[in-house]
Structure 1
Amino acid sequence: MDRKLNVVVIGAGAVGLGVGCGLATRGVGLHIIANREGQRRALLEEGISRSGLFGDLHAPPGSFDVSTSIDSLATERADVWLVCVKATESERLAQTLGAVWQKLDHSPAVVLCQNGWGNAETFSRFLPSDRVFNARVITGFERMGETHVRITAHADAIHIGSLYGAKTEELRGLSDAIQAGGVPCALSESIEKDLWAKVLYNGLLNPLGALVGVPYGALGERKETRAIMESIAEETFRVMHVAGYSSHWDSPSEYLDTFYEQLLPPTAEHQSSMLQDLHAGRPTEIDPLCGAICTLAEKHGIEAPLNRALHTLIRVAEQRH
């Protein structure tokens, strides 16, 4: 009989609860680490509910554990740490996990379900790089309460892979369990390209959607906003290529064809997490998105004026909310 997969989900936000709900219903040994005691009690009393695309699902109380302490990881033998916190928390969390790692007698895989570029580099400063993996998530999860998540959009399966050449086959059990839990998921040998595809997608939609206050689809309906998005795509491709990275498309025009025909339509009603963060008065993930593009551009001696302008405008919007 196969040994039960044990997963720790770090972060009880929309993605963590949405993926965790499916894992708990598939018999995975699941431990969720929440930020607040109130949410911990609610999850223990009510379980996790997921609705929206892919149907309704409920992980009942008792089908998973919940705590608020990262330190508990030092005495828990987990196969996977699934990091589902905002990229704004990467530095702090990476340092904390690095301290915990020193106390372990095993080496869990650390899978980062985060937006933007540069998260793996941050975590690899504190953890072995061959244990750090990325998950490209291009499904829209929205938290409706302490224990309820709704899936509002889905453009492609979750992809899991390594930027450091580590073998991904050990994560087959995780990928299969996420898939069995109702969210499409697959292993990827081209995760760098997958992540840059997500950077392009988020970079065209999230800052503009947040600043204008509209769902993704509305940005594609007006020629003015389409022109801005197309210019952002051209600038991002230029920086990406100068920095030595690549995606699944050779040119901005090829990407934009896919964007308008395949990626935008199924997510047209989705509101960006950046807009949700602004409304809630939370820091946005503009740094690992437009900020990362600006950093790469500066490093390689080129300009990225559109990404810099979006970064500045979102920073101003954060101060106003």
Structure 2
Amino acid sequence: MKVIVLGSGAMGCLFGAAFHRAGAEVTLVDVNADHVDAINADGLKVDLRSGEETLPIRAALPADVSEAADLVMVFTKTFHTAAALEGISAAIGDDTHLLSLQNGLGNDRRLADFVAEERVMVGASMLPSDLVGHGHIRSHGEGYSKLYPAFGDDTAMATRVADLLTQGGLETVLDAKIHEGIWSKAIFNATMNPLCALTRRTPGFLGANPQSRATIRAAVAEGIAAAHANGVMLDGQPIYDLTEVSMTDHADHEPSMLQDIHAGRRTEVDAINGAIVTAAKEAGVEAPVLETLWNLMKLEEAKLA
């Protein structure tokens, strides 16, 4: 399988490495020329709990992509999705499937602007990954991923993708209730990401303080209520459980919003907190804690500007 990972930061490289281990022909595509050059010169350095490895994976800038892929896995920031896919238009052929494991809500519709609905897959992963430096990632937490066709039930391609990722060391399963999974991840991220970014601390700090624990429970409860009001009848307990895992097993992991703030970049808070709060209000439900976290993160972004 020819696989392009579009947006090859910490998570993109983690998944690209798994595809490579399973024998896929992988190209890591990113706009960071130094990152691309480092991977091409020295290989992708992957630091796992099981040990370190260096993988000879091809990396490229978007302008250098010239052949159609079987799969394009999208890991860009949500607000860059359209421009990023337009930038690799040569990779999107008549049989190309697109897969988003991006944060937030609405990614399925963004991908459907570029290929037929039956070739769109979406998923969610709770695996941690940090970008240590150019061409170097670290992932020291446990977890698994799930995916499924976004709009249909033809699982042939989804099965191939899940099998390859699992063979490559990242356990991946098919989940027919994938939209519940996406909502669950969005609620988790809308809770933990802003709190880490606003305090400039990793999840272990949140776990050690009763104030943050109370806020976490309130925010998760609001997210569950918003999902239910929108007809997504997910089970909320796994989300609470995952916040505990984050504060213990992933205690030192820097969530994406914290990484963005440290790097002076715009965050995905609009696609995460903003999308949940908007969906809640449209369904007649208020989400004051999640909305406050959204507003505070927008103030952080205004400081960057």
- The normalised TM-score by structure 1 is 0.86
- The answer to whether 1:295 aligns with 2:247 is no
1:178 matched to 2:165? The reply is: yes
Query: Which residue pairs with 1:47 in the alignment?
Result: 43
Following superposition, the deviation at residue 152 of structure 1 comes to: 3.3
Aligned match for 1:169, one of 156, 162, 173: 156
Q: Does 1:286 align with 2:282?
A: no
Q: Does 2:3 correspond to 1:15?
A: no
**Shift in Å, 1:260:** 5.5
Are 1:36 and 2:32 counterparts?
A: yes
Matched with 1:271 is: 254
> Which residue of 2 is the match for residue 309 of structure 1?
292
- Cα distance in structure 2, aligned partners of 1:39 and 1:262: 31
Helix, strand or coil for the counterpart of 2:296?
helix
Q: Which residue of 2 aligns with 1:210?
A: 197
1:79-101 CA-partner distances (Å, limit 9, x unpaired): 1111121223124335556x658
CA pair 281-186 structure 1, distance change in 2 beyond 3 A: same
For residue 154 of structure 2, give the secondary structure of its aligned residue in structure 1. Answer: coil
**Contact 1:94–1:122, Cα closer than 8 Å, also in 2:** no
In terms of mean alpha carbon deviation, does 25-34 or 208-217 score higher?
Answer: 25-34
| C-alpha distance after superposition, 1:277-302 (max 9, x if no partner) | 00100111101110101221232233
For 2:112 and 2:239, the matched residues in 1 are separated by 32
Which residue type is aligned with residue 110 of structure 2?
T
Query: 2-side partners of 1:31 and 1:176: how far apart?
Result: 19
Amino acid at match of 2:272: L
- 1:214-263 Cα offsets, whole Å, 9 max, x none, are 1112212222111111111121111111111132x1xx5x3465335555
* Structure 1 residue 140, shift from structure 2 partner: 0.8
Between the aligned partners of 1:77 and 1:100, the Cα distance in structure 2 is 6
Quick one: which amino acid aligns to residue 43 of structure 1? I
Matched, 1:58 2:78: no
Pairing partner for 1:84 from 75, 82, 85: 75
Whole-Å Cα distance in 2 between the matches of residues 300 and 14 of structure 1?
A: 35
Q: Secondary structure at the match of 1:135?
A: strand
Aligned equivalents of 1:255 and 1:96: distance in 2? Answer: 38
Q: Deviations over 1:113-164 (max 9, x none)?
A: 211111112222343222111121111111111111100323x211111231
Q: 1:100 to 1:256 in 2, by over 3 A?
A: closer
Query: For the residues of structure 1 that align with 2:279 and 2:86, how far apart are their CA atoms?
Result: 23
Q: Is the 8 A contact 2:29 2:60 kept in 1?
A: yes
Q: Distance in 2 between matches of 1:150 and 1:185?
A: 19
Equivalence map 1:11-160=2 (5 Å): 11-60=7-56, 64-69=57-62, 72-73=65-66, 76-94=67-85, 96=87, 104=93, 106-154=94-142, 156-160=143-147
Tell me how far apart the structure 2 counterparts of residues 234 and 147 of structure 1 sit (CA, whole Å). Answer: 39
Range that drifts further, 219-228 or 134-143: 219-228
Supply the AA of the counterpart residue of 2:259.
Answer: Q
TM-score normalised to the size of structure 2? 0.91
Query: How much has 1:52 moved relative to structure 2?
Result: 2.7
Deviation, 1:212, is: 1.0
Does residue 220 (structure 1) correspond to residue 211 (structure 2)? The answer is: no
What SS does the corresponding residue of 2:147 show, helix, strand or coil? strand
Give aligned pairs, total: 304
Matched to 2:35, the amino acid is: Q
* Secondary structure of residue in 1 paired with 2:146: strand
Q: Percent identity?
A: 26
